Structure 1
């Protein structure tokens, strides 16, 4: 299950325990063979949910993978073709799955092409969910997938860069200050902003440079220093790459 918008509660019996699944959370759920799935949605609220249902007996033949070679935490899920052991695993957060679902929603083809595309993307979503499940089997320090609280820290890091672009030093400083590994910070920026930390920083600096040029109170050398750079030639290079015009030509056009 993946909740794109809204929220829901899930249970396997009418009077059974209800588990909440929030927006942008996914859950892998397996019920007893004689039970089903009961979903409860809030009244008068929009929701958007995607589901993938797996017949484990057919799936074993499909994947052509020996079950005994799987890690035990996967084996006990996929070998249980009779539905003997229930499972409810809720992930913390996944922008990666959200991206895949967006690709499904925006795919323009129909018919046979779409059927194959949906099959491939369904397996990609399953792989992302299994990666989260596997990541939760290890200690926090060894985890590689962003959690919801960590995504919030990515937003805080972005806000920090927005406010301190002129004095920003390096990603090591961010990792120390916000308690995230450099790898997770880069992963978060790629998922949230489709940019590396450096690309995000350069974008902020160039936007500020444009604003300062338009205000007309500083010359180019002063602006280079004001946005946190030390090389005028480097500034000219990245400015021209972004705006297809040199800073001096842009300043002259304003005049």
Structure 2
């Protein structure tokens, strides 16, 4: 079994240790570290960065060639870790001899120890793993940021635990997977990329905390009747809609394409996007239209029909609801901005 030992929460030291243990090519872009691997240890990418607020983000998108344990030692910061598994599965324990708990596909986990126990993540070989870890440092954070968030996390996940550890493995959450997909899609570089990542990481953190609250409020309620394969199909449909908004995307068509019943379609989209299938299609189309108006020379009618709408007046109505101006006003503003640049 391959052992990865991380003795520091400092992002530079952490990735130096990962590079020394795994090999690969390490690159840094405006404090974001990325380790690309394609060797005997495994294939994939590990990336991460730390923000001024004391929040760190670490993501493994890997297939290891042998079983691997990641040991995270931290004697100073008492971090609360928010874990999420987008693909594959893994095990977690506090200490080598601690109880192992499984974090499965689309599941959330919240992990903390007042006793500063080492955290161990167990990865299986030949498993396509996509795993993200958000750590909030509870000691040593900048004073200006050690306020409401830290106080709330401390009272929720530390004060009530007499034995010093807090482990919560939550129900499945597709909305977090969607936000992580948005992280992966960021194409910008430098400070813009860093700010976009920080914004999405904060949204993921909020969803993780909300998931915990929702699960406590609905202990007697299951998270839904969708199986893992059915949730995969919902994700695939979401990508399909984003890529082909101009198609005739009726419930029957999507149901036939995914082999999901209309009821399960609606349930899946409520889980992932917090809206109905029709509302999601409409929102995707309006966003695509905004991009076309801003970045192409197409007139409004051409934009309307290119993204699947048949009524210009209806399109204008929902565009104004979303952006607080008509499509023509928006296009005229873009032209004015370009002319005066």
Question: In structure 2, do the counterparts of structure 1 residues 84 and 124 end up closer, same or farther at CA, with 3 Å as the change threshold?
Answer: farther
CA contact (8 A) 1:56 1:78 kept: no
CA contact (8 A) 2:86 2:105 kept: yes
Are positions 1:35 and 2:117 aligned together?
Answer: yes
1:88 to 167, 174, 198: 167
Aligned Cα root-mean-square deviation (Å) = 4.3
CA contact (8 A) 1:10 1:19 kept: yes
Are positions 1:189 and 2:189 aligned together?
Answer: no
Alignment of 1:173-212 (within 5 A): 188-191=268-271, 196=276
Q: Answer 1 or 2: which has greater strand percent.
A: 2
Are positions 1:65 and 2:148 aligned together?
Answer: yes
Q: Answer 1 or 2: which has greater helix percent.
A: 1
Aligned counterparts of 1:120 and 1:199: Cα–Cα separation in 2: 24
Q: Aligned to 2:168, what secondary structure does the other structure show?
A: strand
TM-score by length of 1: 0.55
Aligned counterparts of 1:61 and 1:84: Cα–Cα separation in 2: 30
Aligned counterparts of 2:95 and 2:310: Cα–Cα separation in 1: 62
Deviations 1:171-210 (A, max 9, x none): xxx6xxx9xxxxxx8564245589725569xxxxxxxxxx
1:50 to 114, 121, 132: 132
Unaligned runs of 5+ in 2: 1-82, 235-250, 256-262, 281-306, 312-341
| Runs of 4+ more than 3 Å apart | 149-153, 185-188, 190-195, 197-200, 241-245
Unaligned runs of 5+ in 1: 166-173, 179-184, 201-240, 246-255
Q: How many residues align?
A: 180
Are positions 1:114 and 2:193 aligned together?
Answer: yes
Deviations 1:31-54 (A, max 9, x none): 244311111111222211111111
Aligned counterparts of 2:133 and 2:120: Cα–Cα separation in 1: 13
